[in-house]
Amino acid sequence: MNPITQDLYRFVVDNFLFGQADGRLSDETSFLEAGIIDSTGVLELIAFLGERFGIQILDEEIVPENLDSLRRLTFFVERKLAAKPGEAQACR
Amino acid sequence: MQVESFLENSAARFPDKTALVCGSRHLTYKELDQSANRLAHSLARHGVERDDRVVVYLENSVEAVAAVFGILKAGGVFAVVNPTTKAAKLEYILNNCRATAVLTDRARLETLRACADTPFLRAVWVAGLDAAEADTRAIPLGPVLEPGEGGEHPPRRGIDIDLAALIYTSGSTGRPKGVMLTHHNIVSAATSITTYLENTPDDIILNVLPLSFDYGLYQALMAFLVGGTLVLERSFGYPHAVLQTILRERVTGFPIVPTICAILLQMDLRKYGLPSLRYLTNTAAALPVDHIRRLQESLPHVRIFSMYGLTECKRVSYLPPEQLAVRPGSVGRGMPNEEVFLVDDAGRRLPPGSTGELVVRGSNVMQGYWELPAETDRMLRPGRYPAERLLYTGDLFRSDEEGYLYFLGRKDDIIKTRGEKVSPKEIEEVLHELEAVAEAAVIGVPDPVLGQAIRAVIRVKQGHALSAQQVLSHCARRLEDFMVPKAVEFREELPTTSSGKVAKRELARQSAEGNGFSPAVLRLDAAAECARLEREIRRMVFEELRRKGVVVGLSGGVDSAVVAALASRALGSGRVLGLMMPEAESPPESLTLARAVAAWLGLETREEDISPLLAAAGCYQRRDEAIRTVLPDYGPGCKCKIVMADVVANATYPVFSVVAQFPEGTLARARLTAEAYRAVVAATNFKQRTRKMLEYYYADLLTYAVAGTPNRLEYDQGFFVKNGDGAADLKPIAHLYKTQVYALARHLGVPLEVTQRPPSTDTYPLPQSQEEFFFALPPEKMDLCLYARDHELTPEAVAPAVALSPEQVSRVYRMIDAKRKASRYLHLAPLMPAG
């Protein structure tokens, strides 16, 4: 598994599934449809992205296209890191 | 073989085995058989003869089961009618079949007495009737069934081609038709069904469906045929209790319909486990495929049978459980000892993979409709041999290459809802009894759970007014529960055919597209609703809660004004305490308006400034500290509110920001972190909880109850603080949409300045509307979207009425669903360990 996806997976399972994935979470699972993340959950996720990957997220980036599955999140994080390679290095 | 032999044979084989469980009552086969024998003797003594029709007008009960078998043992023909049948229809049925006797209970006797003219009726057996009320025509049923003399079998009076039952079903003429079934028909169907379900004497079958519905009736017949046990429940009204019954009685078979399935899926079935359950059967309408999958996931050890049938032959088809994964939308193939096929319009048999009308051939096919030769000839047509009749069902089906069947719809305009056939004409006649109705048409609209849902489309006469509520309550008075329309639509004009008749197909098409969806769906008869709520408040406060009055927190808003007005009309203004609880940050006009409401109603009031309590709890300080984590300059003299991202306009998440106004007037906005958001909400919740604490202080002081003021939007979507404004002893308007609350306010005469003020949260120092913080839409639109979501209307159908795009309506739907999920926690009462 891509290390970014792995980090994200662990965060989502620990924080939103109380540590129990029970096979419910694939790369494509929609957090919204599966009822995994509510509105406070989105804020927690954003905070995690900031802490873990050092990326700042704009209001207009807080949309399901970027955040609503492990795969989308991974793409989004990779894109943000690519835009700020120096910071990403420091963070890893 | 006779149907009564089901019971008699099993009583001979297993005399001391439990045959019937009903509530706390357990009857052995011997006890039940002897009860039925005594009833048969009693019927015969009062003149019931072979082939006489006897009507059973009872709820699911020991008496109803004993009645069916007692009638058969007396050589009679039983007709079980729905226990919610109203007088006019009951009278029609009694006279149509010339019933000589009725078995009913004390509660239904009044309806029976309201039947004006029943010349054929000789005697009535009444459960729960006192000996003092008895006379030669009204016989107490209890003593007849109790153990005692006369338990021996009466002499056999009939043969198996005699009629055993008349089952009344809706006809296209609007009059119910009696489906004639012989003993042989019933024995044949019951044998086939128990064969494919592999029933044995070890089966314990739970029945929650009315015995007037053939699906319910057959559970009793089949349980006794195989020597199993029948667990009879009055209804599925208390799902948790029913599931407990399954556990307690170790039920193995549970017949359901799609509505029951939908309720089951809302419960945590895994928690119950239901280890004894061997199979579930479903009929009436096909289960949505998604429901089948979720049932299988929750109950992996249970075999699920999808079936299809009609009263005229009982059962048509079943899908073997192992086929469920392959063709979940199919209702299967013909059952054992029965042949089914599709025909074209000319009656030619079609090969598999075709679409046509379903035809049934078998010894389960009825003898026809009671004294209706023309209708009988339309359904029963010549078969292979001179005396054989084939059943032309009028149901359109598609078959796949292997002959599995898929239900498509009806050939005529009969509506099939919850598996019962409903005649639009019968409902239309009832609608036309209303003075204000100029034209009425009743159609079936597709419904994932009911199969079809009944919809009444009405044109109102010039100069008349009519509300959906009035229409529905009139229907409820005149029709059985399952015939009452699910929705009422008002139109300026109904589409017509070239011959001037209402074009039902066109209407159904328009309705499916939601043409005509408008705020009118929320119209209600304010006067009638107020009168009802006043009665209910009296009942709740004086009878249920046993309190002397109510405390109402007056916020200056319309909800609390309406609750206070209803309570003061219901209980008297001397029994309502209006409590006003301003704090440092609440706008002064809230208090002014609350006082105006109290003065208008002449209420006793108390004012409590809760600021010191809040300050002591650290409400303001904790909140401001949290805000400073995102807006470091926030401090004394600043005002704030929380706003939500516009989730309707854009496909975004409901992310919250704080908006602050600094003393010099400048505004700042910052997105909240999860911690800050939770800290702000947790701190401000002190406000609602402190207010509730004071409400209960006064309630304790005066032996009053606390009336909560949430409306339906707030209640449904979880817009309240748990143990804060969510706590109350009664919530009189939690079923009303916000626009309906306004309608009541106008009727009650709530001061205009209250009704004209936009709804506010009154929780943050800066003015804040409810849509800004929580609902994302103004209340009148939110009402419509919530209604539409509950009635499964497509976003396309709803969009014009709320001036949004279908895509935006979809977002609102998703938000509604998400809020419901999130509010589950808020609604839950304290949990207790299971088991």
What phi and psi, each to the nearest 5 degrees, are found at residue B202?
Answer: -80, -10
pLDDT tens by residue, B382-437: 999 999 999 999 888 889 989 999 887 777 778 888 777 788 888 988 998 999 99
Q: Decide if B734 is inside a domain.
A: yes
CA closest to B671 among chain A residues: A59
In this structure, the answer to whether residues B424 and B530 fall within a common structural domain is no
CATH number at residue B372: 2.30.38.10
Q: What percent of chain B has pLDDT over 70?
A: 97
Per-residue pLDDT, B73: 97
- Whether B154 shows a pLDDT value over 70: the answer reads yes
Q: Which CATH class is domain A3-15+34-91?
A: mainly alpha
My answer on whether B588 and B714 are in the same domain is: yes
Tell me the percentage of chain B whose pLDDT exceeds 90.
61
B686 and B565 part of one domain? yes
| pLDDT beyond 50 at B237 | yes
Q: What is the pLDDT of residue A92?
A: 39
Distance from CA of B785 to the nearest CA of A (A): 19
How far apart, in Å, do the first and last CA atoms of chain A sit?
17
Q: Are residues B566 and B699 in the same domain?
A: yes
Which residues in chain A touch residue B677, judged by CB atoms under 8 angstroms apart?
A: 40, 43
Residues B550, B608, single domain; the answer is yes
pLDDT, greater one: B727 or B511: B727
Q: Do B677 and A63 touch (CB under 8 A)?
A: no
Helix axes B526-538, B468-478, angle to 10 degrees: 60
Region B548-571: mean pLDDT is: 96
Tokens of B691: 């207010």
Least CB-CB distance to B671: which of A32, A41, A59?
Answer: A59
> pTM for this structure?
0.56
- If asked whether residues B503 and B610 sit together in one domain, one would say no
Residues B576 and B506 in one domain: no
pLDDT value of position B773: 72
Nearest CA distance, A51 vs chain B (angstrom): 12
Q: Give the model's confidence band at B579: pLDDT under 50 very low, under 70 low, under 90 confident, else very high.
A: very high
Segment B115-140 mean pLDDT: 90
Q: Are residues B349 and B462 in the same domain?
A: no
Contacts of A23 in chain B (CB under 8 A): none
Average pLDDT over residues B750-759: 86
CATH of the domain at B423: 3.30.300.30
In terms of domains, do B397 and B422 share one?
Answer: no
Residues B355 and B476 in one domain: no
What would the two tokens of residue B506 be?
Answer: 């066109």
CA distance A62 to chain B (A): 6
Question: Given an 8 Å threshold on Cβ–Cβ distance, is B645 in contact with A38?
Answer: no
Whether B824 is in a domain gets the answer no
Residue in A40, A64, A67 closest to B674 by CB: A40
- Could you tell me if residue B675 is inside a domain? no
Find the range with the poorest average confidence among B177-191, B487-501, B573-587. B487-501
Q: Is residue B52 part of a domain?
A: no
Q: What tens digit of pLDDT does each residue of B625-637 get?
A: 999 999 999 988 8
Reported as a single tens digit per residue, the pLDDT across B340-363 is: 999 998 889 999 988 899 999 999
Minimum Cα–Cα distance from A44: chain B residue = B674
**B380 domain-assigned:** yes
Structure confidence at residue B29 as a pLDDT band (50, 70, 90): very high
CB contact under 8 A, A39 and B654: yes
Confidence class for position B682, pLDDT limits 50, 70, 90 = very high
Residue B7: predicted pLDDT: 98
Q: Break chain A into its structural domains and give their ranges.
A: 3-15+34-91
Q: Do A39 and B650 touch (CB under 8 A)?
A: no
pLDDT for residue B260: 87
Query: In terms of CA atoms, which chain A residue is nearest residue B822?
Result: A38
Please check whether residue B158 lies inside any domain of the structure: no
Look at residue B688 and tell me if it is in a domain. yes
Is pLDDT of B197 > 90? yes
Give yes or no: residues B506 and B535 share one domain.
no
Which of A35, A42, A65 is closest, CB to CB, to B821? A35
Between strands B451-460 and B487-490, the pairing is parallel
Environment class of residue B196 by beta-carbon count within 10 Å: exposed (0-12), middle (13-18) or buried (19+)?
middle
What would the mean pLDDT of A63-70 be, rounded to a whole number?
Answer: 88
What DSSP line would sit under B389-412, residue for residue? EEEEEEEEEEE-TT--EEEEEESS
User: How many domains would you assign to chain B?
Assistant: 3
Q: How confident is the model at residue B512 (pLDDT cuts 50, 70, 90)?
A: low
Is the pLDDT confidence value at B739 over 70? yes
**Is residue B686's pLDDT more than 90?**
yes
Average pLDDT over residues B769-774: 74
CATH of the domain at B701: 3.40.50.620
Average pLDDT over chain B reads 90
Disruptive mutation site among A39, A56, A72 for chain B (greatest number of B CBs within 10 Å): A39
Q: Which of B478, B512, B546 is the last residue of a domain?
A: B512
pLDDT of residue B80: 97
Which domain, by its residues, includes B380?
338-402
B-chain residue closest to A37, CA distance? B818
Instruction: State how far residue B198 is from chain A, nearest Cα, in angstroms.
Output: 35
Contact A43 B655 (CB under 8 A): yes
| CB of B146 closer than 8 Å to CB of B47 | no
Q: Would you say residue A91 has pLDDT above 50?
A: no
Examine the fold and report which residue of B769, B792, B808 is the final residue of a domain before the chain moves on.
B769
Question: Average of pLDDT values for B103-109?
Answer: 94
| Chain B residue with the nearest C-alpha to that of A68 | B653
Please indicate, yes or no, whether residues B346 and B419 belong to a single structural domain of this protein.
no
The average pLDDT across A51-76 equals 89
More confident residue, A3 or A89: A3
Distance of CA B777 to the CA centre of its chain: 28
3-class secondary structure, B55: strand
CB contact (8 A) between residue B674 and residue A38 = no
Number of neighbouring beta carbons within 10 Å of residue B499: 6
**Closest approach of chain A CAs to the CA of B817, in angstroms?**
9
Rounded to whole angstroms, how far apart are CA atoms B87 and B537? 30
Rounded CA gap, B227 and B199, in Å? 9
Query: Quick check: A43 and B656 CB within 8 A?
Result: yes
Q: Are B61 and B23 in contact (CB under 8 A)?
A: no
| Torsion angle (degrees, nearest 10) of CA A14, A15, A17, A21 | -30
Q: Which of B769, B784, B818 is the last residue of a domain?
A: B769
pLDDT value at B651 more than 80: no
Q: Tell how far CA B131 is from the center of its chain.
A: 37
Looking at residue B756, what is its pLDDT?
84
| B383 neighbors B361 (Cβ within 8 angstroms) | yes
pLDDT band at B498 (very low <50, low <70, confident <90, very high): low
Predicted pLDDT at B449: 66
Min Cα–Cα distance to chain B from A49, Å? 12
Candidates B270, B652, B675: best to mutate against A (most CBs of A within 10 A) is B652
What pLDDT is stored for residue B275 in this prediction?
Answer: 96
Confidence of residue A89 (pLDDT cuts 50, 70, 90): very low
Residue B708, in any domain of the structure? yes
